[in-house]
């Protein structure tokens, strides 16, 4: 137990951590380009927020949440997704008062008690964006294009964008009846959860992962065929915009998304590299959510993208990542006095913004040199008796093998120039 991380969680180490830093900085960059600000919300929230915001009859709330009582006897839940918290923050900080739309992005861990497998963890991570305060289909197009442009910038290919409209409560009222009739006739084929859902939330049945349920709903009537006039116009406008942006998409009337709060546009980005867990990114419009959480009616739309699945897809497509910048200087010393001089130089280099390191295990000269090689350092500075006497260091370029004699100031100047060239 002490030497193994809990099931469904994992450490992100060394080279992989470098990849994460790169993805995070690319995500921050594109969100900046689109005018989104970062929001950081707590890891846990009141359980009620997710019951209300995600929906009582969703998989997440029914069986996946990490819920516990804290010492003050409050029911607390580790965030299973990001949107509900952002909505809560929107209300708490009265963001209606800000110029609309309010456009936010986040990078979060999410927690869901699921069966761990490739692309499915109990602690996973998401990039997400949310835009509040406009129902205009232009915003739907912006959100979708942000996700696609991000993936394109990373070098991904062959992704499939699927869109659908699941209408508004108005169109859903009629559709719900049509669907309920259809499902009641085939009730025996549904899983037990769905038999209960049938009365509470028949739409949820369309999203069930049970094989028999999937089979049963294959021929079910589609919401897309029951949209009201306004929802149809909204969907047409979105499709026009996506055409203008030259984004390839497929209208997929079976996408309903696993969360209760969606209205009108829903979309998914799929990747063939992911196998069974092939949804890389999912999102949609949630015009009723702010009100559902106790606020004034405020339209909103967003998406969330799984970072682990993003990495799996990139690896699957053989995409290379920028390398971690190599260490500029490794300091090699011989003798106590040199060691103290070396430590002084180390600190000065670091103060000047030059990356530097040294031996900490009192290694021999030869093995210090070998160690410097393992660090992939660009230069090795050698300090011995001679160097201390003259104040001139021996500097070895580890790539060309060339040796220079430089004073401390010359050394710092050379390295700073070198840094500029490498960047
Ligand atoms: P799935 O269909 O895979 O269950 P979902 O509909 O539950 O996904 P969302 O709640 O929309 O997913 O979350 C958005 C994205 O977050 C997913 O597309 C996926 O990339 C990622 N994600 C969700 N749950 C997990 C998980 N348990 N492990 C890893 N990534 C996840
Ligand atoms: Mg899920």
pLDDT digits (tens, 9 = 90+) for 151-160: 999 999 999 9
Helix (H, G, I), strand (E, B) or coil at 266: strand
The CA-based angle 247-248-251, given to 5 degrees, is 115
Check: CB of residue 235 under 8 Å from CB of residue 253: no
CA of 215 to the centre of ligand 1 (A): 22
Residues 181 and 199: their CA atoms lie apart, in Å, by: 11
Q: How far apart are the C-alpha atoms of 348 and 53, rounded to whole Å?
A: 53
pLDDT digits (tens, 9 = 90+) for 125-143: 999 999 999 999 999 999 9
Q: Is the CB of 123 under 6 A from ligand 1?
A: no
Asked, as a colleague might, if the bond just before 101 is cis with ω within 30 of 0, I would say: yes
Query: Exposed, middle or buried: residue 351 (CB in 10 Å: 0-12, 13-18, 19+)?
Result: exposed
Nearest CA to ligand 1 atom 5: 258
Phi, psi of 104 (to 5 degrees): -130, 150
Beta carbons within 8 Å of 24's beta carbon, 6+ residues apart: 107
**CA gap 173, 166 in Å, rounded:** 12
Residue 368 CA to ligand 2 centre (angstroms): 51
SS3 per residue for 275-328:
CCCCEEEEEEECCCHHHHCCCCCCCEEEEEEEHHHHHHHHHHCCCCCCCCCCCC
- Whether 279 is in the pocket of ligand 1, judged by its Cβ within 6 Å, is yes
280 C-beta closer than 6 A to ligand 1: yes
Instruction: Decide if pLDDT at 381 tops 50.
Output: yes
Residue of 86, 124, 160 best suited for mutating to test ligand 1, as the one with most atoms within 8 Å of CB: 124
Q: Which of 106, 277, 283, 285 has most ligand 1 atoms within 8 Å of its beta carbon, as the pocket-test mutant?
A: 277
The answer to whether residues 352 and 360 touch, using CB atoms and an 8 Å cutoff, is no
- Give the pLDDT score at 207: 86
Strand, coil or helix: 69 = strand
Percentage, residues of the chain above pLDDT 70: 98
Ligand 1 atom closest to 112 (CA): 27
**Quick one: 349 exposed, middle or buried, by C-beta within 10 A (0-12, 13-18, 19+)?**
buried
Average pLDDT over residues 34-50: 98
- CA–CA dist 322, 335 (Å, integer): 38
Examine the pLDDT at 420 and tell me if it is beyond 80. Answer: no
Read off the pLDDT of residues 301-325 as tens digits, 9 standing for 90 and up: 999 999 999 999 999 999 999 998 8
The residues, ordered by sequence, that sit 6+ positions from 387 with a Cβ below 8 Å of its Cβ are 338, 341, 393, 394
| pLDDT per position as a tens digit, 1-20 | 899 999 999 999 999 999 99
Looking at all shown ligands, the one closest to residue 267's CA atom is: 1
What is the Å distance from ligand 1's center to 309 Cα?
A: 9
Q: Answer whether 64 contacts ligand 1 (Cβ < 6 A).
A: no
Pick the residue whose CA is nearest to atom 25 on ligand 1.
Answer: 120
Cα dihedral sign, 346-350-351-353: positive
Q: Single out the residue of 156, 163, 162 nearest to residue 273, CA to CA.
A: 156
CB 241 within 8 A of CB 154: no
Look at residue 423 and tell me whether its pLDDT is greater than 50. no
Angstrom CA distances, 185 to 189, 231, 313, 413, stand at 10, 29, 41, 81
**258 has a pLDDT exceeding 80:** no
Pick the residue whose CA is nearest to atom 2 on ligand 1: 279
Partnered with residue 303 across adjacent β-strands are 129, 283
Radius of gyration of the chain (CA): 28
For residue 412, name the pLDDT band (cuts at 50, 70, 90).
very high
Of all atoms in ligand 1, which is nearest to the CA of residue 119?
29
For residue 259, the CA-to-ligand 1 centroid distance in Å is 11
Write down the pLDDT at residue 130: 98
The rounded Å distance from CA 258 to ligand 2 centre is: 7
Distance between Cα 337 and ligand 2 center (Å): 61
Protein residue with least CA distance to atom 16, ligand 1: 306
Non-local CB neighbours of 166 within 8 Å, separated by 6+ positions: 172, 203, 223, 256, 257, 262, 263, 264, 266, 284
């Amino acid at each position: 137990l002490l030497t193994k991380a809990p099931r469904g969680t994992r450490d992100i180490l060394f080279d992989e951590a470098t990849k994460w830093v790169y993805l995070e900085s690319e995500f921050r960059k594109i969100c900046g380009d689109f005018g989104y600000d970062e929001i950081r919300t707590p890891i846990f929230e009141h359980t009620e927020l997710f019951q209300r915001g995600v929906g009582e009859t969703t998989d997440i709330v029914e069986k996946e949440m990490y819920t516990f009582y804290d010492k003050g006897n409050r029911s607390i839940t580790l965030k299973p997704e990001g949107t509900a918290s952002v909505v809560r923050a929107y209300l708490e900080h009265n963001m209606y008062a800000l110029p609309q739309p309010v456009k936010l992005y986040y990078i979060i861990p999410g927690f869901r008690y699921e069966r761990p497998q490739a692309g499915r963890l109990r602690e996973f991570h998401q990039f997400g964006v949310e835009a509040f305060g406009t129902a205009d289909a232009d915003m739907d197009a912006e959100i979708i294009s942000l996700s696609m442009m991000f993936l394109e910038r990373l070098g991904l290919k062959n992704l499939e964008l699927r869109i659908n409209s699941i209408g508004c409560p108005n169109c859903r009222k009629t559709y719900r009846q049509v669907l309920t009739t259809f499902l009641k006739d085939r009730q025996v084929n549904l899983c037990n959860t769905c038999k209960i859902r049938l009365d509470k939330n028949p739409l949820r049945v369309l999203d069930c992962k049970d094989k028999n349920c999937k089979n049963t709903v294959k021929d079910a009537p589609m919401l897309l065929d029951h949209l009201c006039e306004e929802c149809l116009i909204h969907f047409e406008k979105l499709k026009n915009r996506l055409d203008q942006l030259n984004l390839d998409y497929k209208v997929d009337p079976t996408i309903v998304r696993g969360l209760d709060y969606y209205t009108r546009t829903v979309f998914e980005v799929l990747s063939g590299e992911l196998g069974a867990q092939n949804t890389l990114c999912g999102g949609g419009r949630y015009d009723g959510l702010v009100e559902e959480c106790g606020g004034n009616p405020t339209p909103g739309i967003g998406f969330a993208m799984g970072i682990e699945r993003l990495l799996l897809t990139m690896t699957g497509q053989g995409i290379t990542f920028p390398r971690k910048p190599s260490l500029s200087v490794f300091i090699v010393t011989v003798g106590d006095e040199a060691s103290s001089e070396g430590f002084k130089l180390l600190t000065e280099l670091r103060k000047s913004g030059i990356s530097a390191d040294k031996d900490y295990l009192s290694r021999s000269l030869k093995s210090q040199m070998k160690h410097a090689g393992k660090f992939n350092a660009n230069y090795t500075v050698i300090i011995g008796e001679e160097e201390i006497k003259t104040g001139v260091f021996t500097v070895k370029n580890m790539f060309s093998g060339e040796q220079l004699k430089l004073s401390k100031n010359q050394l710092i100047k050379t390295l700073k120039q070198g840094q500029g060239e490498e960047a």
